[in-house]
Structure 1
Amino acid sequence: MAYRVAINGYGRIGQSVLRAIYECGYREQLQVVAINELSDIETVTYLTRYDTTHGRFPLPVSHNGTELLINGDRIRVLNEASPSAMPWQTLDIDLVLECSGSFSDRPTAQQHLDSGARKLLFSQPAGSDVDATVIYGFNQQLLAAEQTIVAAGSCSTNCIVPILDLLHRELGIISGLTTTIHSAMNDQPVIDSYHQTDLRLTRSAMQSIIPVNTGLHRGIDRLLPELAGRFESLHVRVPTINVSLLDISLNVSEETSAVHVNQIIRRAAEGPLKGLLGYTEEAHASVDFNRDSRSGVVDGTQTRVSGGKMIKLMCWFDNEWGFANRMLDVAQAWLNCRSD
């Protein structure tokens, strides 16, 4: 029997999560019974059927005025602005996938639970007061049946944290610097516009490379406390619509070489992290990783080591599809936890 799931917020991640449920084998355990989105149902239906980044939905999609209809499934479409107004108890919701990006605090998440949902999973980094922040493939063992509010991190933490954990255990990381080269997002205008407190984000997403603020180093501190205070992070947005790149510089304690570093990554990608971490030595461009469900793919052709202890890595990741799949991995593993 499938768990009953609601998606709150039907933007890029919410849409990717729904598609991944149907396209990647999650539908047997996760049944979406409701979507809450302030837009009208005609637009919700249209944006489900057609997607510039991921192509046409592979199954029939229509609506009957109040429900999205997908391959025989009936998904109630709501237009509620407040979590306290959600009919989760009536709909018997096991899990809310919080994909709105509009909040990340426990008190607001609690309103979904007070409305009748049993659990809530954030699609973004949340406050330290959530029950756990889980990166699938790294610390999913922290999940427990009694938890009610969990975060799935971010696309970039899902990409980098398993790599840092692996290399720290093998080589001993002293310090690091990351630069996320990220595709444009929907908080950026197509042409210069107002409505942003960060003046750089008032500029056209399609015309410029734009530095923006990032909390990735704080996420590394929280998830890998043994590396706390050792990382700084930068983030730039570039004029593409999907697939991003993490440029990772590491100072390590053990002497190494590019060949050795690549061997470490390849062994993990073919072994314990297979399906989550990838490794390639082909001549790739970013578009080659569109709809790649792995958390990240290290490009071995770009690995460099300077002075034996300074490592440079480049890791591709589909910031929509890869993260949506990891969020669903966390959801499925969490819902399948059994009470002691």
Structure 2
Amino acid sequence: MSKAKVGINGFGRIGRLVLRAAFLKNTVDIVAVNDPFIDLEYMVYMIKYDSTHGKFQGDVSVENGKLNVNGRLISVYCERDPLNIPWNKDGAEYVVESTGVFTTIDKAQAHIKNDRAKKVIISAPSADAPMFVVGVNEKTYDKSMSVVSNASCTTNCLAPLAKVINDNFEIVEGLMTTVHSFTATQKTVDGPSSKLWRDGRGAFQNIIPASTGAAKAVGKVIPALNGKLTGMAFRVPTANVSVVDLTCRLGKGATYDQIKAVIKAAAIDH
């Protein structure tokens, strides 16, 4: 069975890690990458070395104007407008939209127009695209959907836990708190912030309260929980690994051991 051919639009943190994961798991073929802000030689350097995830375990080079990753050639484009990316030239059927810019159905569909690609997966929450979290609602996917969202990192952490608890004990209401690693949008040292003053504090020295849409997003992937969860985030001085704490009121009685048992069983099944 031939592997799905995938294009990546936006070669930032997520785009590069998608490429790494694709070569590690070898379940899809990355055939093209588009990023208007990174030239080819710099792409090679950024794939090879990652301050958080370490050195890429493979060979990366430039060959005839393309990326050569472990002997596989990948076309590289530098288009700002998704309408101009020739995905069909490389046979890309699926596009990972990881710029963080084209996050609505209308904007993401630019990849599909003129028969250039078939499907788009947005690597961020979307205001109108169907959102899916594996282990939660992926079975509700319909082939007619051409643009979908993989939600946020926090939603992918919270939703599986909330589903297990709700399926077994019924969540009446809940509060989630995510202790979240700093991100590229934060400042390395204190500086002015156009929004909240606290957002201008240095990411490496402060625990900064922040808003999160993850609790609301869970209501989209688990309709039974719509409006039942709320939450907040704390940005902390770590480069990687975050945690979600969920406190909820249950409709059914449960012991600590019962809760642990159903979560463990769900973890084994998935």
After TM superposition, the structure 1 stretch with the greater mean CA deviation from structure 2, 57-66 or 189-198, is 189-198
**Aligned in 2, Cα 1:45/1:141: closer, same or farther, shift over 3 Å?**
same
Provide Cα deviations, 1:247-293, integer angstroms capped at 9, x if missing partner: 110111222222221111112222x22xxxxxxxxxxxxxxxxxxxx
Alignment partner, residue 133 of structure 1:
131
Give the match's secondary structure for 1:133.
Answer: coil
Q: Which amino acid aligns with 1:147?
A: M
Aligned-pair CA distance for 1:24: 2.3
Q: Say whether residues 1:122 and 2:117 are aligned partners.
A: no
Q: Which amino acid aligns with 1:201?
A: D
Paired with 1:103 and 1:201, the residues of 2 have a C-alpha distance of 25
Task: Give the aligned partner of residue 15 of structure 1.
Answer: 16
| Residues 34-93 of structure 1: per-residue CA shift (max 9 Å, x gap) | 111221222211110011111111111111363111111111121111112211232322
CA gap of 1:21–1:163, structure 2 versus 1, over 3 A, is same
Of 176, 186, 189, the match for 1:188: 186
**Quick check: 1:41–1:65 contact (8 Å CA) kept in 2?**
no
Deviations 1:146-191 (A, max 9, x none): 3210111111111111211111121111100001111011111211
> In terms of mean alpha carbon deviation, does 212-221 or 197-206 score higher?
197-206
* RMSD across aligned positions (CA): 1.6
Per the alignment, do residues 101 and 65 of structure 1 end up closer, same or farther by CA in structure 2, a change over 3 Å counting?
A: farther
Cα distance in 1, alignment partners of residues 148 and 74 from structure 2: 24
2-side partners of 1:211 and 1:160: how far apart? 18
Q: 1:109 corresponds to which residue?
A: 108
Q: Could you tell me how far apart the structure 2 residues matched to 1:78 and 1:211 are?
A: 38
User: Secondary structure of the residue that 2:112 maps to in structure 1?
Assistant: helix
Report the alpha carbon displacement of residue 225 of structure 1 after superposing the two structures with TM.
1.7
Alignment partner of 1:48 is 2:18: no
The secondary structure found in structure 2 opposite 1:109 is helix
Percentage of identical aligned residues: 33
- Give me the whole-angstrom Cα distance separating, in 2, the residues matched to 1:32 and 1:90: 13
Give the 3 Å change call, closer, same or farther, for CA 196–92 of structure 1 in structure 2: farther
Displacement, 1:140? 1.4
TM-score by length of 2: 0.93
Contact kept in structure 2, 1:191 and 1:203, CA below 8 Å: yes
Output the CA distance in 2 between the equivalents of 1:198 and 1:70: 42
Cα distance in 2 between the residues matched to 1:78 and 1:187: 25
Per-residue CA deviation, residues 218-240 of structure 1 (Å, 9 max, x unaligned), is: 10121222122111110111111
> Does the CA-based 8 Å contact 2:47-2:56 persist in structure 1?
yes
How much does 1:9 deviate?
0.8
Which sits farther off after the overlay, 232-241 or 197-206? Answer: 197-206
Counterpart secondary structure, 1:141:
helix
| Structure 1, unpaired ranges of 5+ | 274-340
Give 1:16-31 correspondences, 5 Å limit: 16-26=17-27, 30-31=28-29
Segments of structure 2 that go 5 or more residues without pairing to the other structure are: none
For 2:144, the equivalent position in structure 1 comes to 146
SS of alignment partner, residue 175 of structure 1: strand
- Quote the Cα distance in structure 1 between the aligned partners of 2:3 and 2:25: 15
| Structure 1 segment 1-340 matched on structure 2, within 5 A | 1-26=2-27, 30-37=28-35, 38-64=37-63, 66-114=65-113, 116-128=116-128, 130=129, 132-194=130-192, 196-270=194-268, 272-273=269-270
Q: 1:209 & 1:227 partners in 2: Cα distance?
A: 29
1:198 positional shift: 4.3
The ranges of structure 1 where at least 4 consecutive aligned residues each deviate by more than 4 angstroms after the TM superposition are none
CA–CA distance in 1 between the matches of 2:221 and 2:3?
31
CA distance in 2 between counterparts of 1:69 and 1:170 reads 49
Deviations 1:118-170 (A, max 9, x none): 11001111122x2x311111111122333210111111111111211111121
Question: Across the two proteins, how many residue pairs are aligned to each other?
Answer: 267
Cα distance in 2 for partners of 1:179, 1:20 equals 28
User: Cα–Cα, structure 1 residues 86 and 197, in superposed 2: closer, same or farther, change >3 Å?
Assistant: farther
TM-score by length of 1: 0.75
Query: Do the aligned partners of residues 90 and 180 (structure 1) sit closer, same or farther apart at CA in structure 2, a change above 3 Å counting?
Result: same
Q: CA deviation at 1:194?
A: 4.7
